[in-house]
Amino acid sequence: MYPSDRRFGQRPSGVPGLDSLLNGGFVDGRLYLVIGPPGSGKTLLGTQFLRAGLDADETVLFIHSEESAPDLRANAANLGIDIDDAEFLDVGPESDFFTESGSYDVVSPGDIEDGYLISDIRREIEAVDPDRILIDPITHFQYLEPTEYQFRKRLISFARFLKDRGTTVLATKTPSEDTDTQLKSLSDGVVVLSHDGEKAGRRIRVPKHRGVGQQDGSHGMEIREHGVEVYPTGVDDPSEREFEPTQFASGITELDALLGGGIERGTVTILSGPAGIGKSTTATQFLANAAANGQPGLACLFEESIETFVHRSETFGLPISRLREEGSLFIEEVGALSLSPEEFAHQVRAKVRDHGIELVVIDGISGYKSAIKGGENDVELRRRLRALIQRLVGANTSVVLIDQRREVTGFPQPTSESVSYLADNIVFENYIEVEGELQRVVGVLKKRVGGFETVPRRFRITADGLEVGDPVSGMHGVFKGIPDRSGAQ
């Protein structure tokens, strides 16, 4: 949903990435509902909301009922979030709030029996005069009202009271079919958190943000070292870019000749072939040569450790360690189920922006699908990958995707992951059988910009790296992996 013309004052959420979903932040004087199962991060998100208020020299109030104030302070401190200066109001069943001798002598036990807790808290808010309030959870108030009707009536009155004061409120609750609908309708905004296990990971969405709008859809969310972080789903950038026809060369004369000089800047290349054929070595050759020529590169490894990558590459004479030390080559290893697709995209784009990366290699597509959270939905993952690639290409960064085909020989389709539509260039490597001997060939099936050789070339992987030979001539059926000289012209 696109934002309207903003006429509202808005407060930052304190959660990296969330303000983007909220089209600027929480609106002053409004009530927001944060819904999620236990352990999804509701309280932590609310704590960061309070911390953002303290950072802005605001007065903040934490109304809680399930944990004590010391525990809440300690939990926040473990993540480096200091909320010691917040005001705390404990309304739990065993809290001082319910006794005349407590520090919050506002209401007597007899009044509680009448179910007017919200009315009494209004008086406490008038005394503290907070700019922000976190109610964790709001369902505790509901239990103390005599009827659902009374709870709804109190909540409407409470929301109007806060709006008149300009107080912004976050209220948390766990999902419940009985009350979610009415609470959502009463709230000015709704934030929904989910945590569907390690494979799917944490997600966040904002289905409602009254008057301002929101970025729709499901987005990545993680609890990291310093709290909740949100990674908005990438939206395709419709702005046009100026194409720069400069090329990245591999540094191998014969391979560059096959590609008409190399791969153009701001294009997507799919390097396809069976396991062990040399795809990663070929991609690394482009990375190393670009880095050596002052064009920084980034390798994202899904199927290999950094140590193995460096050792293998240097065995072939590529100075990977030196290029990394010089700051012209970066290598990131992505662990299994460690990142959502949005967080991975965020990290790649940040690296590109901060270090001027011009060439990105993703090794490989099948590893990405297996390692990234949410991998059970191939269509959605491909869409996320496409969004990342389009943003990189929009910044004139070239992308090389490594795609592993299952067949050792034969050529039934150019890629194995149905991603051909992403490619400006398709380079294939394959085995061919010649008189009982397996040989390697490399060829170009597609090149959107510029010319290329239509006849594949043999190549070898030696102790000195890639050796690319002359075009394969005098045979047909090379693409199928079983060449035949009988019909050759």
Distance (Å, whole) CA 340 – CA 343: 5
Quote the mean pLDDT of the chain.
82
Structure confidence at residue 249 as a pLDDT band (50, 70, 90): very high
Q: Average pLDDT, stretch 295-303?
A: 94
Tokens standing for 146?
């005599």
Beta bridge partners, 467, equal 460
Beta bridge partners, 428, equal 272, 443
Q: Average pLDDT, stretch 390-399?
A: 90
pLDDT, position 99: 46
Domains and CATH numbers, the chain: 10-231 (3.40.50.300), 247-471 (3.40.50.300)
Q: Average pLDDT, stretch 300-316?
A: 92
pLDDT, position 95: 55
Q: Average pLDDT, stretch 59-74?
A: 91
Tens digit of pLDDT for each residue in 77-102? 999 999 999 999 888 766 555 444 33
Query: According to the 3-state scheme, what is the secondary structure of the chain?
Result: CCCCCCCCCEECCCCCCHHHHCCCCEECCCEEEEECCCCCCHHHHHHHHHHHHHHCCCCEEEEECCCCHHHHHHHHHCCCCCCCCCEEEECCCCCHHHCCCCCCCCCCHHHHHCCCHHHHHHHHHHHHCCCEEEEECCHHHHHHCCCHHHHHHHHHHHHHHHHHHCCEEEEEECCCHHHHHHHHHHCCEEEEEEECCCCCCEEEEEEEECCCCCCCCCEEEEEECCEEEEECCCCCCCCCCCCCCCEECCCCHHHHHHCCCCEECCCEEEEEEECCCCHHHHHHHHHHHHHHCCCCEEEEECCCCHHHHHHHHHHCCCCHHHHHHHCCEEEEECCCCCCCHHHHHHHHHHHHHHHCCCEEEEECHHHHHHHCCCCCCHHHHHHHHHHHHHHHHHCCCEEEEEEEECCCCCCCCCCCCCCHHHCCEEEEEEEEEECCEEEEEEEEEEECCCCCCCCCEEEEEECCEEEEEEECCCCECCCCCCCECCCCC
Stronger pLDDT, 288 or 436, i.e. the higher one: 288
Tens digit of pLDDT for each residue in 363-394? 988 888 877 876 556 677 777 888 888 889 88
The answer to whether 61 touches 87, Cβ cutoff 8 Å, is yes
Structure confidence at residue 287 as a pLDDT band (50, 70, 90): very high
Q: Average pLDDT, stretch 435-462?
A: 88
Q: Average pLDDT, stretch 409-422?
A: 61
Structure confidence at residue 419 as a pLDDT band (50, 70, 90): low
Tens digit of pLDDT for each residue in 108-157? 444 444 445 666 677 888 889 999 999 998 877 766 666 777 777 777 77
pLDDT, position 56: 95
Distance (Å, whole) CA 369 – CA 366: 5
Tens digit of pLDDT for each residue in 156-167? 777 778 778 889
Distance (Å, whole) CA 390 – CA 235: 9
Stronger pLDDT, 325 or 275, i.e. the higher one: 325
